[in-house]
Amino acid sequence: MPVEARSRRPALSHRLAPYILLLPAVALVLVAQGYPMLRQLVMSFQEFGLAQQFGQPAEWVWLDNYAAIISDPYFWTVLLKSLAFCLWTAGFTMVIGLGIALLMRAASSFASVVMNVVLIVVWAMPLIAALTVWQWLIDPNFGLVNYLLTGMGLSQFEGFSWLASSYWTFFIVASAVIVWASIPLVTISIFAALTQVDDAQIEAAELDGAGYLKRLQHVIFPTVAPVVSLMAVLQIIWDLRVFTQIHVLQQSGGISTETNLLGTYVYQVGISQGDYGVASALAMIILLVTLIITSKYIHMLWTRGEIQ
């Protein structure tokens, strides 16, 4: 065999090795995620209800499900509420998470470790258990929140139902639960990025007379900006598709119709009403909105030169 042929064969195997190693992971993702998504896409073009669950052939309606959704004013109400809610909760989560991360950086090593442990405990707490605690806190008759507010002289909160009074108070509780559960991951991620900030640059800026806000703006934040941007986009995506917190609070006496977000709306249409075709179309619309938000982040990375 010629020497050139023998040299080309190892070079080719080296080039193909990464793709061969990726094949099992790609195949697993395609089976676990690709097929359900393809099935959902197909169902969104069909009239798929309880009869089809028991074997009756599904009738193709093509874009009728999408037309019914787009022409329904309730869908646009839910969509606007979902966008406003996710921006609200994601904004609060990022501000509080960034503030705690900066506090941890300025604290002593012992205090920083203690705060890390507390955040990990909060993050590891099962969601249903956390929601149960929150329901105890806001219980109309025996909840700690109403007890403290009543003790401060606010008699209107005696026996006050946060979940059933109005959708405003419902969303206040829901946003508090979501922000509380989301802060640990955001804080730990930003704190990890803050540990990479060069102390020499901070000291040089301080010697030049830069105050804390100037050092934060020109030295610290540019270093952690990619992590903050990533966490902000991910938080918006997670909060846009939030389901468990809203569903559990609705089942605890909340107003279901006025407090629906996209996640619970899809659940009610698909599971409660049995209209899986329309629910699949709704899920595809949510996916489209999520992809739009994700594409903005990818474009931001591209323009910054972080994707080659």
Q: Which two tokens stand for residue 208?
A: 């030049």
Measure CA 107 to chain center: 29
CA atoms 120, 126, 128, 130: torsion sign: negative
pLDDT in tens, the chain (308 residues): 554 555 555 666 677 778 888 888 888 888 888 888 888 888 889 888 878 877 788 888 889 999 999 999 999 999 999 999 998 999 999 999 999 999 998 888 888 889 989 999 888 888 888 898 999 999 888 889 999 999 898 888 888 888 888 888 899 999 999 999 999 999 999 999 988 887 777 778 777 777 778 888 778 888 888 888 888 888 988 888 889 899 888 888 767 788 889 989 999 888 888 888 999 999 999 888 888 877 777 676 666 655 44
> What's the pLDDT at 11?
64
Full-model pTM: 0.82
> What's the pLDDT at 157?
86
For 33, half-sphere exposure in the C-beta direction (CA atoms, 13 angstrom radius) is 7
Tell me the C-alpha distance between 160 and 152, whole Å.
Answer: 15
> What's the pLDDT at 307?
47
> What's the pLDDT at 12?
62
Measure CA 9 to chain center: 46
Please say whether the beta carbons of 237 and 54 come within 8 A. no
**Phi, then psi, of 260 in degrees rounded to 5:** -70, 135
Contacts 24+ apart (CB under 8 A), 141-148: none
Neighbours of 120 (CB within 10 A): 13
**Phi, then psi, of 198 in degrees rounded to 5:** -75, 115
> What's the pLDDT at 308?
46
CA atoms 256, 47, 83, 230: torsion sign: positive
Place of tokens 């008699």: 155
